[in-house]
Amino acid sequence: MNNTVTTSIVDDVAVVQIDNPPVNALSHGVPEGLMAAIAEAEANPAVRAIVILGAGRTFVAGADIKDLEAAAWNSSVEPPDIHDLLARVEDATKPVVIAIHGTALGGGLELAMAAHYRVAVPDARVGLPEANLGIIPGAEGTQRLPRLVGVERAIDMIVTGKLFPVSDAHEWGLIDHIIDSAGRSSGSAADALRAGAVAFAHDVAGRGPHQKTRERGDKLGTPAENAPLFEAGRQLAKKVRPNQTAPATALEAIEAATTMPFDRGRRRERELAIGSVRSPQCRALVHAFMAERAVAKVPGVTDAPAAANLPAVEEVAIIGAGTMGSGIAMACANAGLRVVLTDASQERLDAGFAALRKNYDSSVKRGRLTSADVEKRLALVKGAVGYDACASADVVIEAVFEQMALKQQIFAALDGVAKPGAMLATNTSMLDIDAIASGTRRPESVVGLHFFSPAHVMRLVEIVRGSATSVATIASALALAKKLGKVGVVVKNSTGFVGNRMMLPYMYEAQFLVEDGATPEQVDRVLTTFGMAMGIFAVDDLGGLDVAWRIRKELNQFSEPGARRPLVADALVEMNRLGQKTGKGWYKYEGGRTPIPDADTTAVIDRVTAGAGIRRRRVEDDEIRERTIYALINEGARLLEEGVAMRAADIDVIYLTGYGFPGFRGGPMFHADKVGLPKILERVSAFHRELGERWKPAPLLERLVKEGRTFRDYDAGLMP
Ligand code: 3H9
pLDDT tens digits, one per residue of 28-82: 999 999 999 999 999 999 999 999 999 999 999 999 999 999 999 999 999 999 9
Is the minimum distance from the CB of 613 to ligand 1 under 6 angstroms?
Answer: no
CA-nearest residue for atom 25, ligand 1, is 106
The answer to whether 341 and 300 are in contact (CB under 8 A) is no
22 CB near ligand 1 (under 6 Å): yes
C-alpha 322 to ligand 1 mean position (Å): 37
Mutate which of 18, 23, 278, 293 for ligand 1? The one with the most ligand atoms within 8 Å of its CB, which is 23
Selection from 125, 122, 123 nearest residue 112 by Cα: 125
Report helix, strand or coil for 108.
Answer: helix
Radius of gyration in angstroms for the set of CA atoms belonging to the chain, rounded to a whole number: 28
Residue 124 has a pLDDT of: 96
CA 203/CA 297 separation, integer angstroms: 47
Q: Is pTM, for the whole model, over 0.85?
A: yes
Distance of CA 61 from the midpoint of ligand 1 (Å) = 5
* pLDDT recorded at residue 70: 96
- The residues annotated as belonging to the active site are 110, 130
In angstroms, rounded to a whole number, what is the distance separating the alpha carbons of residues 476 and 482? 10
pLDDT, position 185:
54
CA distance 84 to 94: 17
Maximal C-alpha separation, the chain: 93
**CB of 63 within 8 A of CB of 80?**
yes
Number of other residues whose CB lies within 10 A of the CB of residue 78: 12
- CA distance to 352, 371, 383, per residue, from 376 (Å): 18, 9, 16
What percent of the chain is modeled with pLDDT above 70? 98
Each residue of 417-474: pLDDT tens digit?
999 999 999 999 989 999 999 989 999 999 999 999 899 999 999 999 999 999 999 9
Does ligand 1 lie within 6 Å of residue 137's CB atom? yes
Please name which of 101, 97, 108 lies closest in space to residue 25, comparing C-alpha atoms.
Answer: 108
Amino acid at 100: I
The minimum-distance atom of ligand 1 relative to the CA of 81 is 8
* 286 close to ligand 1 (CB < 6 Angstrom): no
Distance 102 CA to ligand 1 centre (A): 12
Nearest CA to ligand 1 atom 50: 61
Q: How many residues does the chain have?
A: 720
Centroid of ligand 1 to alpha carbon of 23 (angstroms): 6
DSSP assignments along 490-534, one per residue: EEE--TTTTHHHHHHHHHHHHHHHHHHT--HHHHHHHHHHHT-SS
Cα distances (angstroms) measured from residue 525 to each of 416, 476, 500, 515: 52, 41, 22, 17
Strand partners, 17: 6, 53
What does the alpha-carbon distance between residue 356 and residue 114 come to, in Å, rounded to a whole number?
47
Q: Which residue among 59, 65, 274 is best mutated to probe the pocket of ligand 1, counting the most ligand atoms within 8 A of its Cβ?
A: 65
Cα 248 to chain centroid distance, Å, stands at 22
Residue 299 CB contacts under 8 Å (≥ 6 apart), including other chains: none
Indicate which atom in ligand 1 lies nearest the CA of residue 64: 9
> For ligand 1, is residue 105 a contact (CB within 6 Å)?
yes
Ligand 1 pocket member 69 (CB < 6 A): no
- Tell which residue, 188, 418, 243, has the closest CA to residue 318: 418
> Residue 454's beta-bridge partner residues?
none
Residue nearest atom 22 in ligand 1 by C-alpha distance? 293
Residue 574: exposure state from Cβ atoms within 10 A (0-12, 13-18, ≥19): exposed
Task: Check pocket membership of 277 for ligand 1, CB cut-off 6 A.
Answer: no
Ligand 1 atom showing the smallest separation from residue 68 Cα: 13
Task: In whole angstroms, give the CA distance from residue 359 to residue 206.
Answer: 54
Is 313's C-beta closer than 6 angstroms to any atom of ligand 1? no
Determine the distance separating the centroid of ligand 1 and the alpha carbon of 696, expressed in angstroms.
Answer: 41
Query: How far, in Å, is the centroid of ligand 1 from the Cα of 79?
Result: 16
| Distance from the alpha carbon of residue 341 to the mean position of ligand 1, in angstroms | 36
Beta bridge mates, 579: 584
Using an 8 Å Cβ cutoff, are 27 and 64 in contact?
Answer: yes
Instruction: Say if ligand 1 is within 6 A of residue 285 CB.
Output: no
Q: Measuring from atom 13 of ligand 1, which residue has the nearest CA?
A: 63
Residue 25 is which amino acid? Answer: A
Taking the CA of residue 296 as reference, the ligand 1 atom at the shortest distance is 48
For ligand 1, whether the C-beta of 124 sits within 6 Å is: no
Helix (H) or strand (E) holding 103: strand 103-105
Q: What span, in angstroms and rounded, lies between the C-alpha atoms of 222 and 228? A: 11
Asked if residue 491 lies in contact with residue 497, where contact means CB atoms within 8 angstroms, the answer is yes
Determine the 3-state secondary structure of 391 from DSSP: helix
In this predicted structure, what is the pLDDT of residue 183?
54
Instruction: Assess whether the C-beta atom of 107 lies below 6 angstroms from ligand 1.
Output: yes
The angle that helices 223-240 and 151-160 make with each other, rounded to 10 degrees, is 20
pLDDT at 720: 37
Question: What string of DSSP letters covers 624-659?
Answer: HHHHHHHHHHHHHHHHHHHTSSS-HHHHHHHHHHHS
In sequence order, the 6+-apart residues with CB closer than 8 A to the CB of 441 are 415
Question: Which regions in the chain score pLDDT beneath 50?
Answer: 1, 719-720
**Separation of alpha carbons 119 and 126, rounded Å:** 12
Point out the ligand 1 atom lying closest to the alpha carbon of residue 136: 5
Phi, psi dihedral angles at 64 (to 5 degrees)? -75, 120
How many A from CA of 67 to the centre of ligand 1? 12
| Residue with CA nearest ligand 1 atom 17 | 293
Give the full edge-to-edge strand order of the sheet including 125-127: 103-105, 125-127, 163-165
- The pLDDT of residue 186 is 58
Instruction: Give the residue, by CA position, lying nearest to ligand 1 atom 39.
Output: 23
For helices 567-574 and 499-516, give the axis angle rounded to 10 degrees. Answer: 90
Residue 65 Cα to ligand 1 middle (Å) = 7
* Interatomic CA distance for residues 181 and 111, integer angstroms: 24
The secondary structure element, H or E, covering residue 141 is helix 141-149
